[in-house]
Amino acid sequence: SYGEEINSLFGITLYDNAEKYVSSNYIDSNIYKNPETIEGYFDLEITDKIKVKSPYVSEYWITIDSDNIIHSVFGAHLLNNLDRCLEVQEDLLSNLELKYQVDFEYLESSYPGFTIYRYQFFDSSNNHFALQCNDDYEYGDVIRQIYIETEKFLDSINEFYDSGL
């Protein structure tokens, strides 16, 4: 379902220049190529730069393009129990649906090394907001993820995964 435009998470807004939140020196010294895109996007860990932290997240990241424009805001927390992740996800989902007045869509997908259990919605600008648990059976980890991303970045991720078919 489509909600109003939702373009920020953890106090960081999509399409802002990353230099609004961190210095250009920090960006230049810490970015690396995003592993789920073919080209043009870079990840930057910003956990120490977040002023008000979420109780659901322990690590924070942004994804930027070559002009330092933010295309994704991402939070994650490592767990060792899928059932606990799914339980907390359900509680958080109820709060988010009330806050944003939207109904999230459920999606479950399996990949060679992991399965995702995701609730998602697209806002009026096609920004993608998601809450998910990743059961990484290759490494034995469960990761809770909360993120928002631009349509352009999501298209680039889909292009990456489709390229291997």
Write the single-letter amino acid at 151: E
Q: Is 147 helix (H, G, I), strand (E, B) or coil?
A: strand
pLDDT of residue 4: 66
* Nearest one of 60, 61, 4 to 34, comparing CA atoms: 61
Scored b (16 or more CB within 10 A) or e, 91-124 reads ebeeebbeeeebebeeeeeeeeebebbbbebbbe
For residues 50 and 30, is the Cβ–Cβ distance under 8 A?
no
Q: Tell me the average pLDDT across 71-94.
A: 94
Angle (nearest 5°) at CA 63 between 59 and 68: 130
Nearest by Cα to 64 from 90, 41, 32: 41
113-165, pLDDT tens digit by residue? Answer: 899 999 999 988 899 999 999 999 888 899 999 999 999 999 999 999 888 76
Q: What is the DSSP letter of 124?
A: T
Give pLDDT, residue 1.
45
pLDDT grade for 100, boundaries at 50, 70 and 90: confident
Q: What is the DSSP letter of 135?
A: E
- How does pLDDT run across 26-46, given as a tens digit for each residue? 999 999 999 999 999 999 999
The pLDDT, as a whole number, for residue 3 is: 52
